[in-house]
Structure 1
Amino acid sequence: MCVCSSLYIIYSVVNDHDARTKLLIGLIRLYSMANLNDIIKAFEEALDCWGLVFSGSEGLKTIPPAKVQEPLKELVKVAKLIKAHTTKVGIIFEPSKLAQSSDAAYTTVSDLSKSFVLYMSVVAQLSPDKISSLFYKEILNSSHTLVSTAASLTAELKVLNDKSGKSSDDKKNTEVDVRLISVGKVWNACDELVKLVENGNLKFLEKKTRLQLSLIEDGLDEFSEWAENPEEFDLVDPFGLDEFSEEDEEDGEDAEDAKVPVPDDGESTSSSAAEATMLKLSRFSKQWVQKFKLIKLLFLSINKSLPSIVNGTDIDEIYNTESIISKEADLLIVELMMSHSLTEDVTEHSIAVDKACSKILSILKKANKNSDNKTKWCSSWEIKYKEMSEAMYD
C-alpha cells in the first residue's frame, strides 16, 4: 500500500476536525510529488469530502476558518482565481497536447486544488450573524454548486489523462467537447457566486422581498374584483370548485338556474339583513385591498429604508416577517372569499398581518435611528396604515 493510500485511510477514520483538514491538505501536497493521475485523484477526493461538508449536519465546523479582514471580498478574489486556474486546466488538457504537457498539467491541477483549499477556509470564516442566515445559506448553496461542478471536471480530467495519446481523432473531438462543457460549468458557477457576493446581502434581500410580494399580488386582482360585489362574484365560482363537483349538470341547468332565488315579501327582513352583511363584507374587503397596496409600498421601500451596512439578524428578521405577511395575507383572502363573513379566522389573520407590518417598521426604525428622514417615512406609513385599520371598524 502506498503512503498516499495509507494517509487517506487514516484520514477517513480520524474524527478530530482540525486533524482531518490537516491530513487532507497533506494528502494534496503529498500527491503533488506523485504522478498526474494521483494529484487528480487527491483533488477529486477532497472535492467529494467538501461536498459532504455542505450537506452534513456538522457543516463547515470541519473546516478551519481563514482569518482575513474582509472574507466576502476575499471570497470573490478566490472565486476569480479558481476560474483562472480552471481556464488553464481546460487549455492544457487539450487531448492532442496533454501527453507532451504532463508537467504543466500537473502544476495547474495542483494550483487549482490549492485555490479550493483557500476557498473553503474563507467560506468557513463567514458569519451568519454578520451577513444574515438568508445570505449565508445562499452562498453555501452556490459554493456547493461550485464544488460539485469541479468534481465533475476532475472525473473528466482522469478520463482524458488515461486516454492521453491513445484516442482516435474522432474521440479526441468528443473529449474536447466534454472538457469544454465541464470548464464552462465551473466558469458559470464562479460567475454566479461572484455576482451574488458582489451584489451583497441587501440586494439578495430585495430579490427575496419581491418574491414574497409576488405571492401577495398573485390573488390581489381577483380579490379586488370580488370585494366590489362578493355576492355576484360568488356565482361564477372564483376558485373553480365546480370542476371537481360530482354533479355533472346533466339536467341542463344554466347559469341562471344557479342564482340565488328572489325572496318573497315574507323574506324581506332576512333579505335586508343579508344585504347589510354583504355590504359590510364588501366594505371590509375593499379596505383590505387598500391596505395591501400600502403593504406593497412598504415591501418596495424596505431596501431603500435600510442603511448600507445593516446587522445580519435584522435582515433575517425582516425576511421572516415578510414571509408571515405573505402567508397570512393569502389565508385572509381565502377565508373572506370562502366564508363570505367576518369570521374569527378573518380577525386572526388580520391581526397577524397588522402585527407583522408593525414589526418590520420597528426594525426599520431601529436600523435608521440616526436618519430622521427614514424614520419619518416609517412614521408616516404607520399613521396611514392605522387610519385605514380604524376606518374598517367604524
Structure 2
Amino acid sequence: MTERQDMAEELGPLLGSFRERFAYGTREELAAISSSTQLRDSTPLQELAKLAKLIRAQTTKVGILSQPARRAGNEATCAKELRALEQSVFYLLSLLPSFHKSGHYTSYFNKQLDEEILALLRCLEKFYDEIREEEENLVSVGKIWTGCDELLALAERGNLGLLNEHLSASAKLVQDTILELQDWLAEPTLEEQDPFGLEDSFDEASDAESAAIDVADKAPSSQMIEYVQTLERRVKLVKLLLKSFQKSAKVDNPHTKAAAETLEKVHTAHQAVVEQIDELISSVFMLGADFDSQDADLLDGVNTLHSTMISMCKLVKKLNNNDSKKNAWVESWEAQWNKL
C-alpha cells in the first residue's frame, strides 16, 4: 500500500477522533497543559500571531479540499493538510504555558486568550464533523477565520492594548451614568415611596389631598440636588481619567513582569470604579426623602471611590516611571478631583 493510500484510509479515523486529541473544554484544562515550546529570537505574542495566520490559511485549504464536490480523489491530500493543521493547533496549545506561567502576561489577557482558543477548538470540532458527514462546511470555515482573526488582534493588542479596550468599555458605562444623572438633574424627582400601591387601601385622604402629598413627596431637597450635581462632576472626572489613560499611557515594554503587575492593578481598579459609582448612586436615590449627605453609606461610598481613584493615579505615575512631564496631566487631574 502506498503512502498516499495510507493517508486516504487515515482520513476517516482522523476526522472521528478530534475530540480525543484535543480534549480541552475549560480554562482549567488549558491551564493544566505542561508541555511548552522554547522560543528563540521570538516572543509568545509573535508566535501567536504567526499561528493565527497559519491556521487560517490551513483551514482554507482543508475547506476547499473537503467540499463534497471536490473530495473524491483528494482524500489523501485532505488528510495531509488536516495533519498539518493539527500540528499548528498543537503548537498553539504548547504556547499557553508561556502565557500562563511566565508572569509576563496579565490575567485579563490570559482569560481572553483562553476563551478565544476554546472557541476555536469548538469550531474546529464542528468543522471536522461536517467533513466526516460530507456536509457543506463554509459556515464553519468562516467561524474559524473569525477565531483566527480574534487571536491575531489579541496578539497585536497585548497587555496594554487589551487594557485600553476594557477601559474604553468602562468609559462608555460611565458616560451612560453621566447621562442618567443629567436627566435627573433636568427634572429632579424622588423614587416612588409606594411603587406597588400597598398603602392605597389605608389612605383616607381625598384625591386632591393625595395629589398634594405626592407632589411634596416627589420634590427632592436642595441638599440632594446639590449633592447629585457634585456627584455628576465627580463621575465626569472619572471618565476623563479613563480616557486620558488610553491616550497617554506609554509603556516601553508592557510584557515585563513589573509592567504586567502594574497593568493588572489598573485593570482591577477600573472595574472596581464602575461598581463603586453604581453603588454610590444607588445609595443616594434609595435614601429619597430621607437624604442626608452625612449618611454612613454615602460617606463610605465616597471614601472608597476616592481611594480607588488616587490608587489609579499612583499606578499611572508608576507606569510613566514617575516622569514629571508625562505625569503633569495626572497631577492636574488630582488637583481637580481634590476640590470636590
Stretches of structure 1 that go unaligned for 5 or more consecutive residues are 1-30, 161-174, 262-274, 389-394
1:131 CA drift (Å): 2.4
TM-score (norm 1): 0.73
Determine the C-alpha separation between the residues in 1 that align with 2:32 and 2:303. Answer: 41
1:306 CA drift (Å): 2.0
Aligned partners of 2:31 and 2:100 also within 8 Å: no
Determine the C-alpha separation between the residues in 2 that align with 1:186 and 1:279. Answer: 58
Determine the C-alpha separation between the residues in 1 that align with 2:327 and 2:54. Answer: 43
Determine whether 1:45 maps to 2:16. Answer: no
Aligned partners of 1:133 and 1:316 also within 8 Å: yes
Determine the C-alpha separation between the residues in 2 that align with 1:66 and 1:327. Answer: 40
The aligned counterpart of 1:368 is 320
1:226 CA drift (Å): 4.1
The aligned counterpart of 1:351 is 303
Superposition map of 1:211-360 within 5 A:
211-226=169-184, 233-234=189-190, 237=191, 243-246=195-198, 255-260=211-216, 278-308=221-251, 309-310=253-254, 311-339=259-287, 340-342=291-293, 343-360=295-312
Distance 1:374 1:222, change over 3 A: same
* 1:125-184 CA-partner distances (Å, limit 9, x unpaired): 214732211111101101111111001111112212xxxxxxxxxxxxxx3xx3111211
Identity of matched residues, %: 25
Aligned partners of 1:87 and 1:183 also within 8 Å: yes
Q: Which of 60, 65, 87 lines up with 1:87 in the alignment?
A: 60
The aligned counterpart of 1:131 is 105
The aligned counterpart of 2:120 is 146
The aligned counterpart of 2:139 is 181
Aligned partners of 1:229 and 1:282 also within 8 Å: no
Aligned partners of 2:317 and 2:330 also within 8 Å: yes
Instruction: Write the letter of the residue equivalent to 1:259.
Output: V
Segment drifting more, 328-337 vs 125-134? 125-134
1:365 CA drift (Å): 0.7
The number of residue pairs the alignment matches comes to 318
Instruction: Write the letter of the residue equivalent to 1:181.
Output: V
Distance 1:112 1:79, change over 3 A: same
TM-score (norm 2): 0.84
Q: Which of 14, 38, 44 lines up with 1:71 in the alignment?
A: 44
CA RMSD of aligned residues (A): 2.8
Stretches of structure 2 that go unaligned for 5 or more consecutive residues are 1-5
Distance 1:35 1:369, change over 3 A: closer
Determine the C-alpha separation between the residues in 2 that align with 1:260 and 1:60. Answer: 60
Aligned partners of 2:33 and 2:96 also within 8 Å: no
